[in-house]
Amino acid sequence: MQITFKDLAWSKNIPSNIKIPTKLKDIITNKSSLTKILRNKYHDKLTVHLLRNEWQILRSHESLALNINKSPALIRDTIISAKTTPIIFARCCIPSISFSEQNKDLLTWKNTPIGDFIFSQKHYYRSDFMYSFIKSKKFDSITNNNSEKKELFLIRYSNININFMPILIYEVFIR
């Protein structure tokens, strides 16, 4: 599955063309650990399925979002499910410059939410979110959607600096 976010129109505000319930909006705009919020909501019935964990050169839009030159990065795609329903597709781009002695555990993180690592660090900072919508067609294989009716899914991204090293995280709310 090759999912890219390069042609999306990003905004600092949640696009107003789709109504989002207040409870969901509170989750979407919260800068703390999404995993922790979801664990509280679903009473620890969360699973993480690692789809991809491989090195590649950052794409132009990823380099731009991270404000660094194109460089090798570990790209980590995961699905977070509540009970058995996929609810979040997440992509984490970790540039090679972000691997230090303090962050080397990220190389072997596998089926554990990346937020468990990030939000346990002494020194981390999360930027404001940028929001967009993405057509659900890109996620049909994940959501098992065979319907002709296609939805728009909200997507957000932010930069997180852990131990003063940059990471880019995209999160697509598929349920």
pLDDT (0 to 100) of residue 144: 64
pLDDT (0 to 100) of residue 8: 86
Residue 38 covered by a domain = yes
Residue 127 covered by a domain = yes
Domain count across the chain = 1
pLDDT (0 to 100) of residue 141: 67
Residue 92 covered by a domain = no
Q: Letter for the amino acid at 142? A: I
Predicted model pTM: 0.88
Residue 161 covered by a domain = yes
For residue 27, the enclosing domain spans 22-87+104-173
pLDDT (0 to 100) of residue 29: 92
The list of the chain residues with pLDDT below 70 reads: 1-2, 44, 136, 138, 140-150
* Cα(157)–Cα(165) distance, integer angstroms: 17
pLDDT (0 to 100) of residue 108: 74
In eight-state DSSP terms, residue 14 is -
For the record, the structure tokens of 57 come out as 């050169």
Residue 96 covered by a domain = no
Residue 93 covered by a domain = no
Residue 2 covered by a domain = no
CATH number at residue 28: 3.40.1410.10
pLDDT (0 to 100) of residue 90: 92
What is the secondary structure of 4-37 as a DSSP string? --TT---BSS--TTS---HHHHHHHH--S-HHHH
Residue 136 covered by a domain = yes
